[in-house]
Amino acid sequence: MNKFLLSAEGLNKSFSGFKAINNLSFYLETGELRTVIGPNGAGKTSFLDLITGRTKPDTGTLNFENNDLLPMNEYEIYRLGIGRKFQTPTVYTDHTVFENLYLSLGGSRGVWNSIFTRIKPEQKQRIEEVLEIIKLTEKAQWKAGALAHGQKQWLEIGMLLAQNAKLLLVDEPAAGMTDEETHRTGELLLSLAGKHTIVVIEHDMTFVRQISKNGRVTVLHQGSVLCEGSVDYVQSNEKVVEVYLGRKAKTV
């Protein structure tokens, strides 16, 4: 019907009078790596909440591959192929790294299946591949709770990879990482672009510049899109400079 993988139109959402999302429209093409930036409270995380079904918009439409997302709940949306990494690392702390990835692998999500299924060699192989990518092979049997902050972030990205999601929603992947880790995360995301469609929310402008070399950047402000374009365009946009980059624009 339309060429966009994800299209959001006229979204509104308020929390006890506070308008978190204000007439937001957003379109995403397949294979894109989109970076979303914006000051605190611009509605970035709220937007992801709406896409993933965590909260429902007051008005507006949300479509993913011609599926109406509004009547769906979290796990139904997930099963369409939308994966999310949360702002604060959210992994199963009492499970091992291996188990975390195992739970994220594609396949049946039914209760009976979960009781009678056994891990298959190809599943094991896929997990090992992902472990390789996120560089946690040695820590496969560690409890996820025992990992360092950056490693948890990576594990959560690994869970998205294991899921083989079509659309990856990545909320502040570089938060709490060292510069080197951040750089590697950027490379990882860049290597995934094309195979997956990715939305990255980020604050760190160095990181944003790194990952949006070829992609587009969307700036959110007060719950709606302020401007959209290449990173250079966005950074030189006066409105953006005014509301967000202000002081930063000169230092970056």
Residues found near other proteins in the complex (CB under 8 A): 15-16, 18, 20, 45-46, 52, 54, 73-75, 78-79, 83-84, 86, 90-95, 99, 102-104, 109-111, 114-119, 159, 163
The whole-angstrom distance between residue 15's C-alpha and the CA centroid of its chain comes to 23
Q: What is the DSSP string of 143-162?
A: BGGGS-HHHHHHHHHHHHHH
Minimum distance of other proteins from residue 73's CB (angstroms): 7
Minimum distance of other proteins from residue 86's CB (angstroms): 8
Residue number with CB closer to other proteins (163 or 182) = 163
Residue number with CB closer to other proteins (79 or 213) = 79
Identify whether the C-beta of residue 210 lies closer than 8 Å to the C-beta of residue 183: yes
Residue number with CB closer to other proteins (73 or 178) = 73
Q: What are phi and psi of 191, to 5 degrees?
A: -70, -25
Alpha-carbon distance 126 to 101, whole Å?
9
Residue number with CB closer to other proteins (128 or 228) = 128
Minimum distance of other proteins from residue 206's CB (angstroms): 27
Radius of gyration of the chain (CA): 18
- Number of C-beta neighbours around residue 186 at 10 A: 23
Alpha-carbon distance 173 to 155, whole Å?
11
Residue number with CB closer to other proteins (15 or 233) = 15
